[in-house]
Structure 1
Amino acid sequence: MSDLHSNCFAFSSEQISSQRSMSLPSSPHELRRQVPEKSGPDRMNDELVSTWNRILESHMYLNKPLLPFEEWNIDFSELIVGTRVGIGFFGEVFRGKWNGTEVAIKVFLEQDLTAENMEDFCNEISILSRLRHPNVILFLGACANPPHLSMVTEYMEMGSLYHLIHVSGQKNRLSWQKKLNMLRDICRGLMCLHRMKIVHRDLKSANCLVNKRWTVKICDFGLSRIMTDASMRDSTSAGTPEWMAPELIRNEPFTEKCDIFSFGVIMWELCTLNRPWEGIPPDRVVYAVANEGSRLEIPEGPLGRLIVDCWAEPNERPSCEEIFSRLLDCEYSLC
């Protein structure tokens, strides 16, 4: 499965294409990759603008501007787009500059400009723009004029946690203390999301970015949802199989506890420094986790029991607060 797990922040096109979230078999989300047949650039642009305006006028955004503060409205001409460094559920991420500041720019590609993806783009902006936390990627603004739809965030120098563990060759620098600090960073970010009634739904090491101070921040909210009082069920079943909770794979009602399952996989990665389900095809992972109850081999050490608890049935999984407390208890233990 090594070809599946190439890092989001590696620089070759082969690697970049491999860490993308995917729609699961039989999911209606698979239709998102279909692009209407073109009959010329002008007509395409007119259709895009019309679709975009229709989305903005939908019930989700009535009386609530997508970018309520003028400083969040960025003209695409202000951006200097540099090297491609990653890929999200939709769009590709580039290192760039905005008004002299080094930033990350998520840019829509033409083939991604479908109505469904534009709705996800609005959803990600709506969620990320309301979050201000040291362990959540900082939203700086967006260009909301098709066909140049893009989002600008702070730039994280060391790339994704996935890259750091599996690609960079620096995993030997990950001391037990660094691992604990990183897990606590992710847990704090996740705690913020859940307190604000947000479910990430695609939490994985590739969506946890690391800066030069080794601080970890959660990113990529394209699949995120606002929680209601009851369990939710989405019309789509999408994500990254190796990190997905079984209830998401089965397209069953879900709560914020699906993120706890994914956090358990990240803990497993940092404990073992291995890729989850390496060498096993994604469709086999999907079936094994969702239908056979298969789980990765539990590592020894103080985090093993916590990983087991994160992979329990949804209502038996610990909260972020409990996980954080137990991570503090591991401070002087060895993994």
Structure 2
Amino acid sequence: MSSPASPTIPIDGPTMDALMALMRLIAAGVTDDDAINDALGGVLGADSDSPQPAGTSPVSSAALGRSPTGETPSVSPFDAVVPLPADVPDVTDTDDGGSVPTEATNTDGQPMGLSPLEFAVLRQNSHVVTGLLKAGASVDYIGGFSCTALCKCCYSFHKNVDLIRILLAAGANPDATTNNDTHSASCLIISVVKNNVEAVKALLEYGADVSYEWKGSNALAMALDFKKLDIAQLFENFEYRKAQKNRWERYQNQRRRDAEDREAKLDALRSRSAAPTGESPTPQPVDGRSTPTGRDETRSPSHAAGGGTGSPRSVRETAQLTENLGAMDWLVPLSDIEWGQQISAGAHGQVFRVTLKSTGDIVALKRFPCHDARSREGFRREVELLTKFRHENIVMFKGAVIDADVSAMLTELCTESLFDRLERTSAPIPWPVRLRWARDIAKGMTYLHTRTPAVVHRDLKSMNVLLDGSGTVKLCDFGIARLREHTFVMTQHIAGSPSWMAPEVLRGDDFGPASDVYSFGVVLWELLMRQVPWPNKNMAQLVGLVGFAGSTLELPDRAPEGCPPQFIDIIRSCFAKPEDRPSFRSLREQLDSLLVDVD
């Protein structure tokens, strides 16, 4: 690294002598704390004893190093660039086996000197470095180096992690770069290239910016590209914990607000419903609806022939779930189900092909693992939402089974997903068909987002886009959809599928309609590429790459044959910042116009 030009420093009298004595001590490799303190005290004493014109310092402003921010530094004798003692040998014990000149030169080859701190770092004398920092040397001033002392240490003496930590503890900028600009490598990137795991740990602990890019790549991307797997794991865990913390803070804040709202509502109810003396209040069920006299609140639906009655606990929970869902006309007894083959299975349940004995209809049955309150809530939410949806591109609700042993939902039968059609078959798919699928997904999502209140899907992906027998798109799986409410979900159980998640969701920020648009962009990318998005990345990697570093799926420079070039522009717009992403209404209109052009 070349050093920029710096003027020769005229320092008069005792201060100059004291600084030169300090430089000779550094050159000699002295580590005795008493000797170091005496030398430092000699500089401070000489500085205070030197005659000074009013308002000035014995060390001229030209003698001072440069602040990384370009600000005028405070005057300190230890921030002066001092000519080095004669005959000081070059440093030959660098970590890479090379040598570092002890005396910097300007562009004309004239001696420039170094600040005492720079010289102490160059000699790797941590005792002197510690003493200088305590005595008032500015940790980030740049004198004869082209970068800060920390950056120099990361570059030339990267194995001296103790020295790196001393500088960081003194407040060194962890994001300093080799040429003190925004275009050169940062300390973190240098440490990745040097494969210095311990230095990376130290820099992360002191807040180094993982997202800073050099030559188009950030530190995490470089670690993955150069197969520095230990360092990549460090970044992933670091970003993972950061996202986890964000989610936890949001969750705690929301819980506090919810508790305050509940207390306010309870206070209002207490003030309204205080009954006069001797008068008994009307019994109310848990959900607040009046209970007709004589009704059996623990009554359960019918069970399949040969099935048990279920435990008292499951019977009560089943009855409460039935009550919470309200309307009863769509309930289907378990005894009416003739089981067929299993179609699919996932984290949110199993899907079977079944026949309704009473009507002969063949439908899909999604069986939910309702073994705890959380899973029962997911089932209740999906049933409640689907009973309200009526749209050609939303899977049609046919009924539900709510039994002590089985909780299941019945929908129209679609035996194939968009994911199956795109990635698991090699048959060619004409572009008009792909565009029609894209337009129909946008139609279904427009329906959800324009409802009152708006419904945010939160798990839009090709596996949740079904195709019926005629090839019509049907959106499904609303178990984690939200009516714009705030929710905390731990990262390892995060709502949604990470390869389709928007950056703000991976970071732990709020999930809104724009997050669905980003997921839609990933589905469009699948339609374009017929590949699985981020196939070799796990959750922690995606949190770092997409959530914090802003990486997106690669798009081709030119549209493939048959694909309108505007289709790639639409995908790119879905990957924009949340506030710049288009609405689904706009996306539908754009895709409609493309269909007109290709049909």
Aligned CA distance change for structure 1 residues 91 and 144 (closer, same or farther; 3 Å):
same
Q: Does 1:148 align with 2:406?
A: yes
After superposing on structure 2, the runs of 4+ consecutive aligned residues of structure 1 that deviate more than 6 Å are 41-44
1:66-124 superposed Cα distances (whole Å, 9 cap, x missing partner): 15151x11001111121111235421111111131111001134xx4211000110000
The secondary structure found in structure 2 opposite 1:238 is coil
CA displacement 1:218-260 (0-9 Å, x = unmatched): 0000000112xxxx43121321001111222223122211111
Asked if 1 retains the 8 angstrom alpha-carbon contact of 2:393 and 2:443, the reply is: yes
Q: Secondary structure at 1:293's aligned position in 2?
A: coil
Cα offset for 1:168? 3.2
CA distance in 1, matches of 2:361, 2:594: 38
Q: What is residue 327 of structure 2 aligned with on the other side?
A: 68
Residue 448 of structure 2 corresponds to 193
The answer to whether the aligner puts 1:253 opposite 2:519 as a matched pair is: no
Question: Does residue 115 in structure 1 map to residue 373 in structure 2?
Answer: yes
Partner AA of 2:342 in structure 1: R
The equivalent of 1:326 in structure 2 is 590
TM-score by length of 1: 0.78
Contact (CA 8 Å) 2:419, 2:463: kept in 1 or not? yes
| Higher relative contact order, structure no. (Cα contacts within 8 Å, ≥ 6 residues apart) | 1
Give 1:47's aligned residue: 313
* Partner amino acid, structure 2, of 1:331: L
Q: Secondary structure at the match of 1:280?
A: coil
- On the 8 A contact 2:368/2:375 being kept in 1, the answer is no
SS at match of 1:252: coil
Q: Quick one: which of 366, 372, 375 aligns to 1:106?
A: 366
SS in 2 for 1:199: coil
Contact persistence 1:257–1:314 (CA under 8 A): yes
Matching residue's letter, 2:459: D
- Per the alignment, do residues 52 and 248 of structure 1 end up closer, same or farther by CA in structure 2, a change over 3 Å counting? farther
Q: Residue 279 of structure 1 is aligned with which of 536, 545, 557?
A: 536
How big is the shift at 1:304?
A: 1.2
State the partner residue of 2:486: 233
Question: Hey, what's the Cα distance between the residues in 1 that align with 2:539 and 2:455?
Answer: 27
In structure 2, the residue matched to 1:91 is 349
Q: Say whether 1:313 aligns with 2:572.
A: no
* Partner SS, residue 569 of structure 2: helix
Cα offset, 1:297, TM superposition: 0.5
The percentage of aligned residue pairs carrying the same residue is 33
2:498 touches 2:506 (CA, 8 Å); kept in 1? yes
Give the conservation status (yes or no) of the 8 Å contact 1:202–1:223: yes
SS at match of 1:142: strand
TM-score (norm 2): 0.45
The whole-number CA distance in structure 1 between the counterparts of 2:512 and 2:522 is 17
Deviations 1:44-83 (A, max 9, x none): 73333334445566xxx4xxxx15151x110011111211
Q: What are the within-5 Å matches in structure 2 for residues 138-177 of structure 1?
A: 138-157=396-415, 159-170=416-427, 172=428, 174-177=429-432
User: What secondary structure does 1:239 align onto?
Assistant: coil
Deviation at 1:332, TM superposition (A): 5.8
CA distance in 2, matches of 1:135, 1:42: 39
Q: Distance in 1 between matches of 2:473 and 2:346?
A: 17
Q: Which residue of structure 2 aligns with residue 290 of structure 1?
A: 547
Which residue identity does 1:321 align to in structure 2?
R
Please give the alpha-carbon distance, in whole angstroms, between the structure 1 residues aligned to 2:315 and 2:447. Answer: 35
Q: Which runs of 5+ in 2 are unaligned?
A: 1-239, 249-306, 560-564
1:245-282: CA deviations, max 9, x gaps? 12222231222111111100000000111111122234
Matches within 5 A, 1:22-41: none
Which has the larger Rg? Answer: 2
1:93–1:106 contact (8 Å) kept in structure 2: yes
Superposed CA deviations along residues 108-151 of structure 1, whole A, max 9, x for unmatched, are: 34xx4211000110000011110010000000000122221110
Contact 2:338 2:354 in 1 (8 A): yes
**Residue 54 to residue 248, structure 1, CA distance change in 2 (3 Å):** farther
C-alpha contact 1:233 1:251 (8 A) present in aligned 2: no
Q: Is the 8 A contact 1:48 1:113 kept in 2?
A: no
Distance 2:388 2:525 in 1: 30
How many residue pairs get aligned? The number is 282
Residue 215 of structure 1 and its aligned partner are, at CA, apart by: 0.5
Q: Is the 8 A contact 2:517 2:574 kept in 1?
A: yes
